Amino acid sequence: MQTLWDHRFALRTQNMQSSTIRELLKFTQQPDVISFAGGMPAPEIFPIDEFAEASNLVLKEQGAEALQYSTTEGYLPLREMIARHTNQYGINVTADNIMITNGSQQALDLIGKIFINPGDRILVESPTYLGALQAWNAYNAQYVSVPLDQDGIKVDQLEHALRAGPKFMYVLPNFQNPTGVTIPLERRKFLVELADRYGVPIIEDDPYGQLRFEGKHIPAIEVLDDQLYGNNCSYHGNVIYLSTFSKILAPGIRLAWVVATPEIIQKMVMAKQGTDLSTPAFNQMIAYEVGKGGFLNGHIQNIINVYRDRRDIMLEELQNNMPDGVNWTHPQGGLFLWATLPDKIDTSQLLKIAVGKKVAFVPGVAFHPDGSGKNTMRLNFSNAKPEMIRLGIRRLAESIKESL
């Protein structure tokens, strides 16, 4: 349709093209396709009864407040609850360091809004979370990427990248999306030291860190920054830390949080005010009611048990069915693993064959800002039920064998 709006789109929309991959992924939503493509939690363990009880209580006792406009920084009791919850993981913050966002995606957008000038370079892991690239492409960011290995970002290649003068670096230390790898303690410490040496601050995106199936919790990069450069018992501030209720409660309420200095929180609040005024009070009050009595820790353990089982089944089926030359990561938590195929296979082409066999994944190229990773793929193990994981991996193995 011809309208006066034609040819009036902002230059930045050129960075928002719908990708071939997104077009392909539409087919994955057919009900008979077993999809390892999304990043969705298992709906079977959503705490629906707790939500119903909390909704009733909130509407009965605080209905007018829940349905009214609310503060941009977020519902104070929820921010206090988050501070207490994250204190358990050694993150020494108060409500003043916390802002509520509409999912972590909004935190990434607001970070773009307050920090990225057109052309600024951002240091990212390669591969990295697709949503961060989507958020920052809209601010015309450029990327400097550092490859990963089984222990996350290769710190021996980090110095070279830091010399390119990135505005900040973006890392997902725990069970990374998309690869599932985790950065060990020593590498985290070195990362914090390099950040300080080169004066490059860090965005630590940690949606999955609480979903550890085995092994010991590793302190957040934020915590190491406090230990190395702060006074070890308060928030130092070189790291902006992001986490979310999407993976430990439910994504459909769209609630996440940012941990930062009050100065940065204030800037983010101003940016959020112009972006959507506030996060729904209704949702925040319900999340607080569900979480306040200590529900979260027990519920997180339930999620861990379900996802560990699904990961084990996926690993077992991969082991039993994949042809030689296919390798994959062994994540200790989270929602994803990463497979690397023989060089000759382009997973974007493979996806067409796989969808024909009613199984789907995300081609790895989507997660590489430089367009590499053509022979890789991300597999989600949290959403499909065990029997579907078994069936889906067998279908995927057949698709790969046909492509060899």
Which residues from 31-60 bind its own copies, rule CB under 8 A?
38-41, 43-44, 46, 48, 51-52, 55-56, 59-60
Site size for its own copies, by CB under 8 A? Answer: 91
**Is residue 231 at the binding interface for its own copies, with CB under 8 A as the rule?**
no
My answer on whether omega of the bond before 127 falls inside 30° of 0, hence cis, is: yes
Which range binds its own copies by CB under 8 A, 64-72, 170-178, 294-302, 344-352? 64-72
- Report d(CA 389, CA 276) in Å as an integer: 39
Give the position of tokens 């997660």: 367
Alpha-carbon distances, residue 314 vs 32, 37, 130, 151, 397 (angstroms): 19, 14, 23, 21, 12
Beta strand pairing call for 359-360 and 34-35: parallel
**Cβ distance to its own copies smaller for residue 251 or 369:** 251
**Cβ distance to its own copies smaller for residue 270 or 304:** 270
Among 10, 164, 185, 404, binds its own copies (CB under 8 A): 10
Pick from 360, 344, 341: nearest CA to 352: 360
Among 207, 280, 363, 364, binds its own copies (CB under 8 A): 280
**Is residue 227 at the binding interface for its own copies, with CB under 8 A as the rule?**
no
My answer on whether omega of the bond before 166 falls inside 30° of 0, hence cis, is: no
**Is residue 290 at the binding interface for its own copies, with CB under 8 A as the rule?**
no
**Cβ distance to its own copies smaller for residue 273 or 319:** 273
Beta strand pairing call for 202-205 and 168-171: parallel
Q: What are residue 128's DSSP bridge partners?
A: none
| Range 149-178, binding its own copies (CB under 8 A) | 167-168
Among 79, 188, 254, 378, binds its own copies (CB under 8 A): 254
**Cβ distance to its own copies smaller for residue 52 or 185:** 52
**Sequence-distant (≥ 6) Cβ neighbours of residue 196 within 8 angstroms:** 228, 229, 238
Tokens representing 96 are: 């003043």
Among 36, 115, 336, 367, binds its own copies (CB under 8 A): 115
- DSSP code for 95: G
| Range 313-372, binding its own copies (CB under 8 A) | none
Among 34, 66, 91, 341, binds its own copies (CB under 8 A): 66
**Cβ distance to its own copies smaller for residue 257 or 328:** 257
Tell the smallest beta-carbon distance from residue 296 to its own copies (Å).
15
Among 31, 119, 215, 274, binds its own copies (CB under 8 A): 274
* Cβ-based neighbour number of residue 308 at 10 Å: 17
Which range binds its own copies by CB under 8 A, 61-69, 301-309, 367-375, 388-396? 61-69
Q: Torsion angle of alpha carbons 267, 70, 94, 77, nearest 10°?
A: -170
- DSSP code for 137: H
Which range binds its own copies by CB under 8 A, 81-89, 270-278, 297-305, 352-360? 270-278
Among 278, 329, 375, 380, binds its own copies (CB under 8 A): 278
* Cβ-based neighbour number of residue 282 at 10 Å: 20
**Is residue 283 at the binding interface for its own copies, with CB under 8 A as the rule?**
yes
- Report d(CA 47, CA 50) in Å as an integer: 5
